Each structure stands twice: as structure tokens, then as C-alpha cells.
Structure 1
Amino acid sequence: MKQLIAIAFLAIVFAGCKQDNKKSFTVNGAITNTEAKKVYLEEVPVASMQPVIVDSSDIQNGKFTLKTEALEAAIYNIRLDQLDFPVASVINDEATVDLSITMSTHNPQLPEKFDVKNSPASQAMKEFMLAFNDKMIRLVNNAHKLDSLRTTKVADSTLAPLMQTIKQDGTALRAYALGEIKKGVNPALSMFELGYYQSTANGQALGLEPLDNKQVLALIDDVTKKFPNHVAVAGLKINLQQEMKAAEDRTWIGKPAPDFTLPDVSGKPVALNSFRGQYVLVDFWASWCRPCRAENPNVVAVFNKYKAKGFTVLGVSLDDDANSWKNAIQNDKLAWTQVSDLKKWDSPVVPMYKFGGIPFNVLIDPQGKVIAEGLRGMDLENKLAAVLP
């Protein structure tokens, strides 16, 4: 638990920027179980997401005071001189915040706990992290258990209940995070919670789906409506809109799918254009990719449901070990054509399709045109239901 709290402070934080009226912000702190001599106050600006030191103080008799001019609602980290990561974080919703930090006696690099007073937003942020991490512990433990069971090659009937539990826990954690973000009591808090969830989900936590850009934009838009004068959130919204527009220009949807030829598991060359006349999902994955393996049961189910209606899958693996690749195909029961040049990220298909992470896929119509990309979970089945009634 303590390690997860420490890791949490490294999550991407969205907060900061300017406001017309500058207000003084003070953190009165007390700290125990540390040999640190100095403490720093860091603001985390939205533009760079890199902490900026705005004040420092000597620690005298376990006490310190940090001050800055608060430009608008923002996240502030408290960091000790010998540590690279924060030991606490607060929000400047009040002019003065009282903070009490207890460092671990077993690991001086980690905070055992911290208590905050006179700051409802800071307290809410702390409670969010603790609740989120508690839920993540269950998710991670079950994911490790699933990995262990898979190595023993147990029957699918044994894995299915645990996989369902992981899926349900991931859905519940996502719902919890979204609910907290939408409360919108403080713009910095909402953006912190959003960044916290996204950084965890993008870290490939099994069972936890990251929000797509449209969902993120909708959440940020809600915050801008509640807090129209918060410059940082407004700027974040504009930046995301520009990124989404650029992504639209880069999308494969509506364009012919680039052709390629790669060897299958027996070494026979297979060309993508040999699948013309069918709807084909080109599925980029790898045996070492945990989210890919978690997504495979969904693809298997959709393949079995629609294979008689003119649909198939072409698996393109970014593996570099043939045995691991073939074992994953067998263990995950992937009954469609699989190809790989075993060059991992050096495979020419990576720059050809311009993706930076897996799982990634494109759905191609019988004429060879891409009609969808990045389909996961129910999105894949919903798309196929629409084109293959």
C-alpha cells in the first residue's frame, strides 16, 4: 500500500496556470522520521507537466513553512531534499493549509502517511488516491494470479471466473474515477483525478481501460463550464482539440490499407491483400503485451460469432521470440492466421501503420479500405454488428 501511494505521486498531474488576482498560499508543515534538512514546494503547471520549485524552507525541529503566490487552483507537491518524488500533494483551495507528514521507519524514501487540514480539496485528493489504490491492489493481485495460472496451462473454465472478476473490478474502478472527476468541486482536483486515472490505465493495468480523447475532452469541457475563468483547464481543452484534429488528419479511416507480406507460423508468406473480399481485422499484438492478451478473449468471441458472415482476423505479432509467440497463440486459442517477422518494434509494419503502442487494430472492408481503427471490447462487436447484420 505504501509503495502504491508513493508511485501515485508520480502520476501525470494536470493543474496550474494563471488568474487575474494573485493570492498568497501558505503550507505549514510538520514532519517526523526523516533526516532531511530542507523541503521544497513545487507547482505542477499544465503546459509542461514538469514540477517547478516555487519555494523552499529549512526543516527546524520537524517544522517548516512554504509560501507562494497562487495564480489559480493548482496542485502543489511537497518534496524533501534527498528525494526525487513528492511526499505529499495539496491544493490551494484555502489561503493556508496545515500538513503533517510521517515518513516510514522501514523505508525512509516513502511517506507512511500524511494528514492535511483546512483544505477540503486536498483532503478529497488524498481520499481519492487511497480509495483508488485500494481498488488497484485487488486488480493487480488478481492479474498476477491470472498470469500464474496461465503458466500452468489450466483449463479455460478455471480462468474464466477470475477473468470476469478482473473485468468487473476494472469497470468498477473506472466508474469510481469518473464519478469523482464529474463531482467537479475544484478544477485542479478534477484534472488531477483525470490524469491519475489515465496514467494508471495507460500503464497497461489489466482490466483498466483508458479513456479515449473524446471522453477526456467531454470531461474537460464539463470542468471549463463549471470554472470558466480557470485558464489552465481552458488551455488544456484547446490543446486537446488541436491534437484531436491532427489525429483525424493522420487516421487510416477512409483510406486504403497499406499492403504488406509477412511469414506465418510455418514460415509461409502471407499478404494482406489475399484477404480481399472479406472484412478483416488486422490485429497488432504480442505475447508479452498484457493488454493484448487481456483483449484476446474478446477477439476470439467476435471471430467465432462472425466468421461465417465474411469476417476474419489477421494477427500481426510484434514478438521477437518464436516460441513465446506460438505458445501465446495456442494458449489464447487464436484460430485465425498469424504472421510475424519476429523483429518486434523494428518490423516495417510499425512505421507503415504509424502506431506507437499495442494493442492496435484496423478493420478493413472487402474492397481493402479501412473503416475503423483501435476497436477494443464491445466497440469491435458493435462495429461488426453494424456492417455484418
Structure 2
Amino acid sequence: MTRINSAAALPAAFLLLAACQQKEDNTFEVSGTFPDAAGKKVYLEEVRFDRSNPLIVDSATADKKGSFRLTGSRVEENLYLVQLAGANGPLATLINDGDDITVKADPAKKEVPYTVGGSPASSALAQYMGENNSQLSTIFAYARQQDSLRQQGVSDSLTGSVRTQRSAAADALRRYNLDFVNKSNSPTLTIFALGTYQGYASNPAFGLQPLDRAQLLEILKNATTRFPQHKGLAQVQQSVSGAPAPQPAAPAASALLNKPAPELTMPDANGTPVSLSSFKGKWVLVDFWASWCPPCRAENPNVVQAYNQFKNKNFTVLGVSLDQKKEAWLKAVQADGLAWTQISDLQYWNSAAVGIFGFSSIPYNVLINPEGVIVAEDLRGDALPAKLAEVLK
């Protein structure tokens, strides 16, 4: 399932395999200007296959104008993140195909608000992310429209037009991604795009058709022919060709199944502490999400529908946000129509909820019975209403 993980929201199944070892005498520099970074620490992080989180390779404090310079080592082309201390996500995502890469804020760019110079692959990456995000937003809008019509009691026959438009948008995004990976001039970007598409395709909320193993192997075969010296790409090809049929990974919190839910206390939007134990006596879905997480936002209409369907059957939802900015969190709550209790310690991946429940990606949820025992987890798409219909008879 597609989820945003603590490795800066990257499609780990592909990207983490694309990492490489460092050597000392081959370096590149990143100079950037982001006004929001003024006086703050900025980090250059390398995505590594042997770590659950990116590896910090350099850091600097931005000057009063928000300018900074960072240096990285490389043995081959790879993916890097420019991360601002305390920010929800990276300032920029780069590929080290140039010796002197420049990156600066560009508020006029809505989908990817920065501009890159000195790195053709990074510029292509930004363009890809912008187009991908734009098309995903269109699909998401159709999904919300469908959900709104269902809530109004409109018949399925009358929602057919919206469903057809959503399907057409999903097909267009699939064609765009296939064309992109086959024409990409960067092995790292090829891996990134494959991982990104496969990740979103595994989320039923988007309605995308994933690439099967044979299609992946054909794409990777062509890519390794074009980039025969790239070890990361060869590792991905070897992994896919030698791997058994994909199986869903066991969520990190599986050890909590059929056990009493751990206590969790955090402030709500008004700063009032709310404890999970206060919901004892009710069925409660603890939903971990964030405003900056596209798969979470795509899943929200499904949670809203389930909440409205079962809220009168001793069931509720407790939203736990991994946001860091209160304004963004509350804006998303209102925009997505999340009518249940919401709490957050505004600590991003340092949230106490991560350590207590042991998850490493979102969206994620656990279903707790009136006795306070976790009876299910990771209920998404049709699995959520199906499980609720089973237990709330």
C-alpha cells in the first residue's frame, strides 16, 4: 500500500536500492536560497538502501537571506534531499548529475515551488513531480466529487460520468509515467518515477493500474541497456527479476494486534489534552495521517464515508496528525471534512505516536474495540467499511 514514510516520502522499494557507496575525491556542491531558511540549519541528505532514513552528508546554517552551500560525495548519480530543520518535508529533491547545482525558492510554482540550475536530471525531476502532482490532484478531486454525490444519496447511475472522468484521468497518468520512464535520460530519475507510480498505484483511492512484474522487467531491461554503468539501476533490476511475487509487508505495529492499545495523550486543536483511553467503551478507529501526505488526503474521503455510515453504532474516529504546522493541519481538517476529534503534538516524525504505535509510514490506522483492544490495523479502501460492518452489527 502506498504510504508516506519517514524517509522523506520517497518510494522506498525502488529508491533505497538505488543508493551507492561514497568515495572522498568526487564531490558536488549545492548552493541554494530559500527565504524561509534564514538563520536556520539546512541539511543535505542522501537516500541510502541500508538505512530507514536518509543519511545526512552535510549541513550549514543559512544566512540572513536564506542562502546556503552544501557539499556531497558521490560515486555515481543518486538522489539527494535538501532538508530544512523543523520543516514538514524537503526544500528540494535533487539528483547529483552536476558539479555545481543551484536551487532557489520560486513561490510562483505551485506544485514544486523551487527552481534548479546546473542539473538537467534535477530539473526533469521537478518537472515530473509537478506534472504528477497536478494529475493526482485531478484524480483526487474526482474522488471527492464521487464521495460528495454518494453522501447526497445520488444513485450510482448518476455518478457514472464522474467515475468515467476519474478513470480517464487515471489512465492518462499511467500513460504519462510510462512515457516518462521510457524516455528518461537519468537512471536515478527512472528509478524514482517507477517507484513513485507503483506506490500510488497500490493505493485504491487513486484507481491507478500498477505495472506487473513483466512490465517492470521490460522497462528495467531497457533502462539498464541505456545506462549499463549504473550500479543502483542494476541492483533494482536484479531485485525485481529475482524476487518472488510481491506480498504485502506486515505493518510495523502488528505486535500490538489483539493486545490492549497503548495510552496516547496529545492536545487537540484548542490545546486541550485528549487521551485515547477516554474513548474506552466505544469502537474507535485511530487514524494516523498528515496534511502534507497525498495518500492520506486521498484516503480521507473513505474515512469520512465510514464515519458517517457507522457513527450512530457506538463508533468514532480519533485523528492523530504528524503535522508540524498547526495552520496547515487545521486547514486540511476543514477542507477534508474531518468531523471527529483531532489531536497532534506537531512534531512531524518525532511525534510520540510514532514510537508508541511503532509505525513507519502513513496513512496508518488501528481499530480498537470497546474493551480497548486493537482488533485490526491498516484498514483502507473497501477493507475499512467491510470490517466495520462485520463488527458493528
TM-score normalized by the length of structure 1: 0.58
Letter aligned with residue 244 of structure 1: P
Letter aligned with residue 83 of structure 2: R
- Counterparts of 1:213-362 in structure 2, within 5 Å, are 213-244=213-244
Distance 2:32 2:311 in 1: 56
In structure 2, relative to structure 1, the CA distance for the partners of 1:185 and 1:149 (3 Å cut) is same
In structure 2, relative to structure 1, the CA distance for the partners of 1:221 and 1:76 (3 Å cut) is same
Conserved? CA contact 1:19–1:230, under 8 Å: no
- Could you say which residue in structure 2 is the equivalent of 1:91? 95
2:63 aligned with 1:60, yes or no? yes
Conserved? CA contact 1:19–1:231, under 8 Å: no
Distance 1:151 1:91 in 2: 44
- Counterparts of 1:83-232 in structure 2, within 5 Å, are 83-101=87-105, 113-232=113-232
Q: Note the alpha carbon deviations across 1:237-287, whole angstroms, 9 max, x for none.
A: 22223322686xxxxxxxxxxxxxxxxxxxxxxxxxxxxxxxxxxxxxxxx
Conserved? CA contact 2:144–2:301, under 8 Å: no
Letter aligned with residue 41 of structure 1: L
Question: Which secondary structure state, in structure 2, belongs to the residue aligned with residue 33 of structure 1?
Answer: helix
Distance 1:16 1:132 in 2: 23
In structure 2, relative to structure 1, the CA distance for the partners of 1:217 and 1:168 (3 Å cut) is same
- Could you say which residue in structure 1 is the equivalent of 2:282? none
Shift of 1:201: 2.2
* CA RMSD of superposed structures (Å): 4.0
Shift of 1:19: 8.2
- Could you say which residue in structure 2 is the equivalent of 1:10? 9
Shift of 1:179: 0.7
Conserved? CA contact 2:184–2:190, under 8 Å: yes
In structure 2, relative to structure 1, the CA distance for the partners of 1:192 and 1:93 (3 Å cut) is same
Distance 1:246 1:133 in 2: 26
- Could you say which residue in structure 2 is the equivalent of 1:79? 83
Question: Which secondary structure state, in structure 2, belongs to the residue aligned with residue 208 of structure 1?
Answer: coil
Distance 1:39 1:20 in 2: 23
Q: How many residues align?
A: 261
Distance 1:82 1:321 in 2: 38
Q: Sequence identity of aligned pairs in percent?
A: 29
In structure 2, relative to structure 1, the CA distance for the partners of 1:237 and 1:93 (3 Å cut) is same
- Could you say which residue in structure 1 is the equivalent of 2:294? none
Conserved? CA contact 1:22–1:72, under 8 Å: no
- Could you say which residue in structure 2 is the equivalent of 1:70? 74
Q: Note the alpha carbon deviations across 1:91-128, whole angstroms, 9 max, x for none.
A: 11111101112579xxxxx9972111111111100011
Conserved? CA contact 1:43–1:77, under 8 Å: yes
Distance 1:126 1:47 in 2: 26
Distance 1:200 1:246 in 2: 15
Q: Could you say which structure has the larger radius of gyration?
A: 1
Q: List gaps (5 residues or longer) in structure 1.
A: 1-6, 105-109, 248-287, 292-319, 325-342, 361-389
Q: List gaps (5 residues or longer) in structure 2.
A: 1-5, 248-298, 303-308, 314-368, 384-393
